[in-house]
Amino acid sequence: MNDYKNLKLIATSNPHIRSSETTRSIMLDVIIAMLPALAFACFNFGFRALTLTAVSVIGCMFFEWAYRKVMKKPQSVGDLSCVVTGMLLALTCPVQMPYWMILIGDFFAIILAKQLFGGIGKNFINPALVGRAMLVASYAGTMTSWADPAGPKAALFGATPDLITTATPLAMMKGGNFDALLATYDVPAMFLGQIPGSVGEVSAVALLLGGIYLLWRKVINWQIPVAYIATVAVLSFLFPKAGTGLEWMLYSIFGGGLFLGAFFMATDYATSPVTKKGQLIFGIGCGLFTVLIRYFGSYNEGVCYSIMVMNLLVALIDKYTKPTRFGVVKSDKKEAAAK
């Protein structure tokens, strides 16, 4: 029988089993969920969408690796979170932007927003959105000209001289050209995504597919995306600036980056509340700020900044949405409050 005296045993704290889910498997699920949007982007804008994303991913992986190497910290590229950031940033950019430009965005996303605060889980603001915000501030012209999917596709290398740029649906809505928008793109085109916009934001149906995958895999909770999209839908239905409430609402939620933001950006673990109640509040706040920026701000689109503003409020939301501990029932709470 066994030699029990010479067993090499380790004694660690309970629990002795763990679920099969890991940080890496979660990030892999997010990557898989982005593939439909990326595939549609290739169809809509040409294969430069894919090469741009690849450059961005490689850039993010390099900056993550280099920072951890220089600072002599344990490597974290293997958790794939930098790949997610790289993909997300590319999905928010115009397809014809120069490759070197997105690398600058990658630098700000990984180094400034993520690693300087301690790496994965420690950042308080969404890295991909920081990268995008820095690019918009630095290269406003490039970052606000959008290729027309009906025109020639962007070239894989170098500039595309005959590229036709056009106004996005949100720009037309903001500019008071809603009737022209209705004539140019019908609702199915808006839902499918045959419209100008950033690489990954155009196709609501592809993003919805990815979002449903994330919900099915229990990577995200329904609270943030549903609260976010519902808030925007309700507000735009109630306060249309042109057309009927329903038309205005449909164009508001399918045009722009709402689905991308709601399913992939606002649900970022590190920068969203930890309780379901907090996530509901967070989603409603994102929706509110998005509509406010779209209606009263100087930008056409408010998704990026509304999520960044709500990111800053996460600590506050977490503080006021703590779960009630086991054994404290409502009547006890009232008594405690009365005292």
Return residues touching another protein (CB under 8 A).
1-2, 4, 7-23, 25-26, 74, 76, 79, 81, 119-122, 269-270, 272-276, 322-329, 332
Q: How far is the CB of 1 from another protein (least distance, A)?
A: 5
Closest CA to 156 of 68, 251, 56, 49: 49
Contacts of 138 (CB under 8 A, 6+ apart): 104
Q: Which is nearer to another protein, 82 or 291 (CB)?
A: 82
Q: How far is the CB of 154 from another protein (least distance, A)?
A: 35
Q: How far is the CB of 133 from another protein (least distance, A)?
A: 21
Q: Which is nearer to another protein, 5 or 158 (CB)?
A: 5
Give CA–CA dist 302/289, Å, rounded: 7
Give CA–CA dist 182/185, Å, rounded: 6
Give CA–CA dist 58/313, Å, rounded: 31
Give CA–CA dist 180/160, Å, rounded: 27
Q: Which is nearer to another protein, 17 or 183 (CB)?
A: 17
Give CA–CA dist 97/95, Å, rounded: 6
Q: How far is the CB of 250 from another protein (least distance, A)?
A: 32
Q: Which is nearer to another protein, 68 or 182 (CB)?
A: 68
3-class DSSP assignment, residue 266:
coil
Closest CA to 264 of 220, 318, 218, 308: 220
Q: How far is the CB of 279 from another protein (least distance, A)?
A: 8
Q: Which is nearer to another protein, 94 or 283 (CB)?
A: 283
Q: How far is the CB of 18 from another protein (least distance, A)?
A: 5
Q: Which is nearer to another protein, 96 or 272 (CB)?
A: 272
How many Cα neighbours within 13 Å face the side chain of 183?
A: 5
Between β-strands 146-147 and 165-166, what pairing exists: parallel, antiparallel or unpaired?
A: antiparallel
